[in-house]
Amino acid sequence: MKYDFDTVVDRSKNNAAKYDERIKKFGTDKVIPLWIADMDFKSPQPVIDALTARAQEGIWGYTSRPASYFEAICNWQQRRHGWTIDRSLVSWSLGVVPALSMLVKLFTPEGSKVLIQTPVYGEFYDVTEAWNRTVVENQLVEKDGKWTVDWEDFESKLPQVSMFLLCSPHNPLGIVWTREELTRMTDLCRKYGVLMVSDEIHSDLIFHGKTHIPTASLSEQVAGEVISCISGTKTFNLAGLQASTTVFPNMRMKELYDKAWMNMDIHRNNAFSLTAMEAAFNEGEEWLDQLLEYIDGNFNFIRDYCAAHIPQIKPNLPDATYLVWLDCRDLGMTNEELRRFMIEKAGLGLNEGWSFGRSLNGFMRLNAACSRKVLEQAMKQLEEAVKAL
């Protein structure tokens, strides 16, 4: 079927955090919310139909996860990414961030250090520091708008740390790591005895002919060393249903992880996320292909609009995710000045760049997963604000 991504859906009345938390985050609700990473699009029709049927059953008690649930996930990874997963090493999780938090708690010593590559998803800081671990940054290097790994620095930091959190594909820079880059990272982690955790939540949102390579699919040896975190919540806009999957390198780690959730009585699936995930992975591919084409058009619109009307702002065209990294350094503002400018002058609710890398200045992150009409208004407001400086 043909899906409609142009129609603006009013989310202000369905308890959407992106809208309801504007005053808390920005001090006003008079901003176009282009921040938190969910989409302003309805999920695939087969998911809506499956959830409707589940709702009409009228009983939503404690819910088990049948084999078909995990088969849908494993089949999707095989079909979409060529990754054959050992079903016996798969665990359900509330979400990728809760999974990362638990992995840090279980598999690093208290007081130890965890390596991250900045700028990166701010929760990488949070899940590390929450458990009295210290963040060590391998700062990615930017040249002419392209970001790459500082390999000398990366290797120099590994002897200090017990875990490396990889964001693959990368949020917020939209990098799709190559096989060579992933192999180099895994080889170095093995050399220094560092546990690698690969957050692959954005792995289905790939553009420009790039190919996502699941880290654990590099080789049998790597599969026996890396923990992978995957989910369909970003792919199909289902974050509010809370479900993700953690793939372990061995049964010992899986059993420790499962026991930790059991001890908190968090081990059964949300009745609706079970239904939604199966439907999405089994029947959502047609929707996803159309979504990717639409979002790619949004990227091109932002790039072209800034080049023609706001050359002071340089958007990064991501190869993955639906998130655009805006280089606003030519505006000559401090981080706080830039934040206030976006809110008070441009009327935009964006993510501050410094939350992804604490030493950064002059960047913002924009969520492009919305109707083109919304983006057109946002770019117009931004243009007017910049011209008024």
Q: Which is it for strands 134-139 and 113-118: parallel, antiparallel or unpaired? A: parallel
Q: Judge whether 137 and 118 are in contact, CB under 8 Å.
A: yes
Q: What is the rounded CA–CA span in Å between residue 165 and residue 176?
A: 16
Q: How far is CA 184 from the centre of its chain?
A: 23
Which pair of structure tokens corresponds to residue 354? 């410094």
**Residue 64 φ/ψ region, left for φ over 0, alpha for ψ in the -120 to 50 degree band, beta for the rest:** beta
Say how many C-beta atoms besides its own lie within 10 A of residue 97's C-beta: 18
Tell me if residue 229 falls in helix, strand or coil. Answer: strand
Give the pLDDT confidence score for residue 145 in this predicted structure. 82
Do the domains 61-283 and 17-44+286-387 match in fold? no
Q: Which fold, 61-283?
A: Aspartate Aminotransferase; domain 2 (3.40.640)
Q: Judge whether 246 and 97 are in contact, CB under 8 Å.
A: no
Q: What is the DSSP string of 274-291?
A: HHHHHHHHHH-HHHHHHH
Kindly report the backbone phi and psi dihedral angles of residue 141, in degrees, each rounded to the nearest multiple of 5, phi listed first. Answer: -105, 130
Q: What is the rounded CA–CA span in Å between residue 141 and residue 318?
A: 16
Q: Judge whether 92 and 245 are in contact, CB under 8 Å.
A: yes
Tell me if residue 265 falls in helix, strand or coil. Answer: coil
Q: What is the rounded CA–CA span in Å between residue 389 and residue 368?
A: 25
Domain ranges of the chain: 17-44+286-387, 61-283
pLDDT tens by residue, the chain, 389 residues? 999 999 999 998 889 999 999 999 999 999 999 999 999 999 999 999 999 999 999 999 999 889 999 999 999 999 999 999 999 999 999 999 999 999 999 999 999 999 999 999 999 999 999 999 999 999 999 988 889 999 999 999 999 999 999 999 999 999 999 999 999 999 999 999 999 999 999 999 999 999 999 999 999 999 999 999 999 999 999 999 999 999 999 999 999 999 999 999 988 778 999 999 999 999 999 999 999 999 999 999 999 999 999 999 999 999 999 999 999 999 999 999 999 999 999 999 999 999 999 999 999 999 999 999 999 999 999 999 999 99
Q: How far is CA 338 from the centre of its chain?
A: 24
Q: Judge whether 217 and 83 are in contact, CB under 8 Å.
A: yes
Q: Is the peptide bond before 318 cis (omega within 30 degrees of 0)?
A: no
Which pair of structure tokens corresponds to residue 331? 């505006």
Q: Whose CA is closest to 236, among 290, 198, 298, 317?
A: 290
The rounded radius of gyration (Å) of the Cα atoms in the chain is 21
Give the pLDDT confidence score for residue 383 in this predicted structure. 98
What class does CATH assign to 17-44+286-387? alpha beta
Give the pLDDT confidence score for residue 25 in this predicted structure. 97
